[in-house]
């Protein structure tokens, strides 16, 4: 066997039992980590981390991403080298932040928190973003709530949302000019669009004491590549000029980064003749990554520049279960070489060597190495839930506890099931690789008919797989179901006559197939019960898949709960 370094490098002759033994050995000694020998591997944030925005304070970098209907929202990561990132907190981390104008209680799928921007001025951090909410009922119109939260420590706590009234559209940016004035940069559909989906970038000064838009509104740019879905703007000032970076072309194969420049903040803006400056639209649909776009630029202390942006790995059917993830590319600045131009503009050139997002890249800083370690083992020994856990929407009151049975996560079974706009007793963390092993030890008495607890692999309210112990009238069964169009459809049920209230459930993925199994005693050999295509919950839309825990009474008014002793997730990166 080759060395064990965060993933198993196995000869083809290795059998399934030996693979399981290796995985178990690794999990028992804790996290197995791999260091890249040199350079870094994209994506730098694996799992559902789209729409990245970045800022720098000294030698510290902070990054935030969209989270849509998930809570807590707006994860804040910290790094000192741009390739190793630590989750330090969330911008939306309290109930009072998301139960008013910003609604994450019954928000629709793919609604919620879109395309944030993080900036810092004079020791204060700002996150500006949009909550997209469609009220229930026929004929309701979508509400776009643009707001700012602030903090003096990016780890939190963050302020209540400051809503900016009269700010239409989505994807706002906050720009601080050298004179101390603050400006709101927004995206909206123009009053007289030339075609459906045309976007326009607008600008207006903002009073940061009252959080109100003031003065004249300026309309800056409608993009460079047809203007389809021009959005996600970021403004920068460099050498006296203003640069407007925009996402364009939608969030799939035609996604792109475009840029314009002006000598005046309020315009007019001149499009870079070489737009788009970064995209995968010209590459094969089978390139290792597609849909690259929605970037944000950052200058390093030594004067070098980089860009963070999103992309979708092409692991399965030109997509992946991780959805849109955060990537990093170097940026150089080049002055136009045209002798006939009186004014020769300097433009940023992302990935100057190849013009595309590469899987393996030279090191950002020679003295650092990227550590590939997305493994996650939680024994629920702390007083607070590990920050990697997330809920679909604000969690139900009293639905979980770490105190009722110390050393366990208790999930109280709720009558709710997974449903559009619903809140269920469901919690999970991001899937970070297509290949993985995920298991949990659960204690669940299953005495009440209809009660159900176990694993859930979920991406949307209508896109999930549940692998649970369920109580039937004739006894407990192991129940595997995938989300159907109208209701979950059972794939297999296995009677558990020897079930005594404790079980280890396991879901793993290898060679584009999910495998599900269990063991009643931790010393037992895993018993496989089903194999399914890994594309069943293939990420579609805005968010990646999550690996989670679930408990429900399926609508019955009975008391039930499950205690989870540990969860263990071992990721197996496909480095190609």
Q: Kindly give the confidence (pLDDT) of every residue in the chain, 576 residues in length, as a single tens digit, with 9 standing for 90 and above.
A: 232 222 223 223 323 333 233 233 333 333 444 555 679 999 999 999 999 999 999 999 999 999 999 999 999 999 999 999 999 999 999 999 999 999 999 999 999 999 999 999 999 999 999 999 999 999 999 999 999 999 999 999 999 999 999 999 999 999 999 999 999 999 999 888 888 888 999 999 999 999 999 999 999 999 998 778 899 999 999 999 999 999 999 989 999 999 999 999 999 999 999 999 999 999 999 999 999 999 999 999 999 999 999 999 999 999 999 999 999 999 999 999 998 988 899 999 999 999 999 999 999 999 899 998 899 999 999 999 999 999 999 999 999 999 999 999 999 999 999 999 999 999 999 999 999 999 999 999 988 888 999 999 999 999 999 999 999 988 999 999 999 766 678 889 999 999 999 999 999 999 999 999 999 998 889 999 999 999 888 887 789 999 999 999 999 988 999 999 999 999 998 865
Residues in the chain: 576
- Residues 361, 457 within the same domain: no
Contact 543, 459 (CB under 8 A): yes
Domain end (from 348, 372, 396): 372
3-state secondary structure 544-565: CCEEEEEEECCCCCCCCEEEEE
Integer-rounded Cα radius of gyration of the chain = 24
Domain end (from 372, 395, 430): 372
Domain end (from 372, 406, 440): 372
The domain of 505 spans 376-571
What pLDDT was estimated at residue 372?
87
- Residues 321, 287 within the same domain: yes
- Residues 468, 507 within the same domain: yes
- Residues 341, 419 within the same domain: no
Count the domains in the chain: 2
- Residues 450, 532 within the same domain: yes
* Among candidate residues 61, 101, 52, the one with its CA nearest the CA of residue 82: 61
3-state secondary structure 119-163: EEECCEEEEEEEEEECCCCCCCCCEEEEEEEEECCCCCCCCCCEE
1 within a domain of the structure (yes/no) = no
Contact 70, 392 (CB under 8 A): yes
14 within a domain of the structure (yes/no) = no
CA angle 328, 331, 332 (to 5 degrees): 165
192 within a domain of the structure (yes/no) = yes
- Residues 480, 391 within the same domain: yes
* Among candidate residues 226, 114, 101, 228, the one with its CA nearest the CA of residue 173: 114
Distance (Å) of CA 447 to CA 172, 193, 242, 344, 443: 51, 60, 66, 76, 12
- Residue 491 belongs to a domain with what CATH number? 2.60.120.200
CA of residue 217 relative to chain centroid, distance: 33
Residues 277 and 351: their CA atoms lie apart, in Å, by 9
- Residues 292, 388 within the same domain: no
25 within a domain of the structure (yes/no) = no
DSSP assigned state of 202: E
- Residues 178, 273 within the same domain: yes
What pLDDT was estimated at residue 470?
95
508 within a domain of the structure (yes/no) = yes
Dihedral, CA of residue 150, residue 153, residue 157 and residue 162, to nearest 10:
0
28 within a domain of the structure (yes/no) = no
Point out the residues that are catalytic.
51, 231
- Residues 270, 124 within the same domain: yes
- Residues 364, 422 within the same domain: no
- Residue 282 belongs to a domain with what CATH number? 2.115.10.20
**3-state class of 380 per DSSP?**
coil
CA of residue 196 relative to chain centroid, distance: 28
- Residues 195, 342 within the same domain: yes
What pLDDT was estimated at residue 539?
86
The 10 Å Cβ neighbour count of residue 7 is: 21
6 within a domain of the structure (yes/no) = no
495 within a domain of the structure (yes/no) = yes
What pLDDT was estimated at residue 437?
98
- Residues 349, 384 within the same domain: no
* Among candidate residues 144, 182, 214, 171, the one with its CA nearest the CA of residue 50: 171
């Amino acid at each position: 066997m080759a060395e064990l370094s965060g993933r198993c490098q196995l000869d083809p002759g290795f059998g399934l039992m030996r693979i399981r033994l290796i995985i178990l050995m690794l999990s028992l000694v804790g996290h197995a980590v791999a260091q890249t020998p040199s350079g870094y591997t994209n994506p730098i944030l694996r799992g559902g981390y789209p729409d990245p925005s970045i800022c720098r304070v000294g030698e510290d970098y902070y990054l935030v991403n969209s989270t849509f209907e998930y809570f807590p929202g707006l994860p804040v990561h910290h790094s000192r080298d741009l390739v190793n990132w630590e989750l330090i907190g969330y911008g939306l981390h309290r109930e009072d932040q998301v139960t008013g104008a910003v609604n994450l209680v019954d928000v629709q799928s793919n609604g919620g928190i879109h395309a944030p921007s993080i900036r810092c001025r004079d020791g204060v951090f700002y996150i500006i973003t949009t909550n997209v909410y469609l009220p229930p009922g026929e004929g309701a119109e979508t509400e776009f709530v643009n707001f700012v939260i602030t903090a003096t420590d990016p780890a939190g706590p963050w302020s209540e949302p400051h809503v900016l009234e009269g700010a239409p559209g989505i994807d706002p940016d906050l720009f601080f000019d050298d004179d101390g004035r603050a400006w709101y940069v927004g995206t909206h559909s123009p009053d007289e669009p030339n075609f459906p989906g045309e976007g326009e970038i607008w600008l207006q000064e903002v009073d940061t004491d009252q959080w109100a838009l003031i003065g004249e509104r300026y309309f800056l740019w409608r993009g460079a590549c047809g203007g389809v879905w021009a959005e996600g703007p970021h403004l920068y000032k460099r050498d006296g000029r203003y640069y407007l970076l925009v996402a364009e072309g939608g969030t799939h194969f035609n996604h792109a980064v475009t840029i314009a420049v002006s000598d005046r903040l309020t315009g007019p803006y001149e499009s870079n003749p070489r737009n788009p400056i970064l995209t995968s639209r010209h590459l094969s649909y089978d390139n290792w990554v597609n849909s690259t776009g929605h970037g944000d630029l950052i200058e390093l202390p030594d004067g070098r520049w980089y860009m963070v942006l999103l992309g979708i790995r092409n692991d399965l059917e030109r997509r992946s279960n991780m959805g849109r993830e955060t990537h990093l590319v170097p940026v150089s600045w080049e002055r136009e070489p045209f002798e006939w131009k009186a004014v020769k503009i300097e433009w940023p050139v992302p990935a100057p060597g190849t013009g595309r997002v590469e899987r393996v890249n030279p090191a950002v800083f020679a003295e650092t190495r990227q550590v590939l370690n997305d493994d996650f083992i939680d024994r629920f020994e702390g007083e607070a839930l590990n920050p990697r856990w997330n809920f679909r929407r604000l969690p139900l009151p009293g639905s979980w506890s770490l105190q009722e049975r110390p050393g366990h996560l208790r999930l109280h079974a709720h009558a709710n099931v997974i449903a559009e706009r619903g809140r269920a007793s469901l919690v999970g963390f991001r899937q970070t690789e297509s290949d993985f092993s995920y298991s949990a030890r659960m204690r669940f008495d299953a005495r009440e008919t209809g009660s159900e607890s176990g694993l859930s692999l979920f991406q949307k309210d209508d896109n999930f797989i549940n692998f649970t112990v369920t109580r039937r009238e004739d006894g407990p069964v192991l129940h595997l179901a995938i989300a159907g169009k109208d209701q979950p459809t059972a794939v297999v049920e296995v009677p558990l006559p020897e079930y005594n209230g404790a079980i280890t459930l396991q879901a793993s993925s290898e060679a584009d197939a999910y495998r599900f199994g269990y063991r009643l005693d931790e010393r037992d050999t895993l018993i496989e019960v089903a194999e399914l295509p890994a594309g069943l919950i293939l990420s579609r839309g805005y968010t990646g898949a999550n690996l989670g825990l679930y408990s429900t009474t399926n609508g019955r008014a009975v008391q039930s709960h499950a205690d989870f002793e540990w969860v263990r997730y071992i990721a197996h990166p496909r480095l190609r």
